[in-house]
Amino acid sequence: MSDENRTLMTEFVLTGLTDHPWLQLPLFLVFLVIYFVTMVGNLGLMALIWKDPHLHTPMYLFLGGSAFADAFTSTSVTPRMLLNILDKTTMISLAECITQFYFFASSGTTECFLLLVMAYDRYVAICNPLLYPVVMSNRLCTQLISISYAIGFLHPLIHVILSLRLAFCRSNIIHHFYCEILQLFKISCIDPSINAFIIFIFGAVIQISTLMIIIVSYTRVISDILKKKSEKNRSKAFSTCSAHLLSVSLYYGTLIFIYLRPASGLGEDQDKMYSLFYTIIIPLINPFIYSLRNKEVIGALKRITNK
């Protein structure tokens, strides 16, 4: 077929999570509840940190920034997925597709840098406690959060600009429940190798570099904790770090597995399940990971409730 006679696609079909019609309503209800709980958990945590002066410290300001990124991640994917479940046509325009990818990638990149600065905060607090009030001021904390979001919103622009060189004429079917950029490459009739290579390079640089710094920070932190003579001090230090370590493990484990693995590593259904965990489940559980065992957050919640 000549280039002139090719029909370029400007609308795409998202296949969703399942082809079985009888599962559509249960899935809609389940993900509607998940989205509601995710937003209440993350936005509620942000409101709690904002309302309670006891939580106006760098650690909780970082936590509030992370909660907003989680809410943003979920919002970039879940509402459109719910609409697709209800709408039998499940169509999405190219502009909507690129926009969804941009906001999803922005929140994901931001989360990487927020996890990094949270690790640095714990490093200073535990390894240099006397210098902590000087080094980690609220002003510096605000600047680090702003830089994390700035990088987060600038990084995906590179991939959005590169995606403008692509054309789609082979198919208009995206085998996913959201506009996943790697799935979009599969239906391009222009070789997307450059795009895939740039995503791999930037993904590797951002994910691996931030993860390595986090690992180095926590290696120093754990070494310092083990040197503490008081069992109470060790327990308190481990408690403040355990939630963040669990969040880092879940986030980076899934992220690296999706974007830095070989392209032929998983089938489409497995790929959807891992993406589901990364885009919907992690934003759901993060506020509970940080809050359930945190006495200061629980205390702040009790004070707000009593008022």
- The model's pLDDT over 251-297, given as tens digits with 9 standing for 90+, comes to 888 877 766 655 545 556 677 888 888 899 999 999 998 887 778 88
Q: Tokens for 34, please give them.
A: 């998940």
Q: Which of 256, 245, 220, 239 is nearest to 296 (CA)?
A: 239
Give me the percent of the chain exceeding a pLDDT of 90.
40
First to last CA, the chain: 71
Q: Which of 186, 182, 190 is nearest to 173 (CA)?
A: 186
List the chain domain ranges.
8-306
So what's the architecture of 8-306 in CATH?
Up-down Bundle (1.20)
> What are the tens digits of pLDDT across the range 151-176?
999 999 999 999 988 888 878 888 88
Q: How far apart are CA 106 and CA 110, in angstroms?
A: 6
**Angle (CA) 102 31 157, round 5°:** 5
pLDDT higher than 60, residue 148: yes
Q: How far apart are CA 69 and CA 65, in angstroms?
A: 6
Q: Which residues contact 245 (CB under 8 A, 6 or more apart)?
A: 218
Q: How far apart are CA 255 and CA 196, in angstroms?
A: 16
SS3 174: strand
How many Cβ atoms from other residues are within 10 Å of residue 196's Cβ? 16
CA 142 to each of CA 51, 58, 132, 149: distance values in angstroms, whole numbers, following the listed order: 17, 8, 15, 11
Q: Under a CB-based contact definition with an 8 Å cutoff, are residues 185 and 195 in contact?
A: yes
Tokens 């904002």, residue located:
50
SS3 12: strand
Q: How far apart are CA 198 and CA 205, in angstroms?
A: 11
Q: How far apart are CA 195 and CA 289, in angstroms?
A: 35
pLDDT higher than 50, residue 2: no
Q: Which residue has the higher pLDDT, 36 or 226?
A: 36
pTM given for the model = 0.89
Q: Where are the beta strands (DSSP E) in the chain?
A: 11-14, 91-93, 173-174
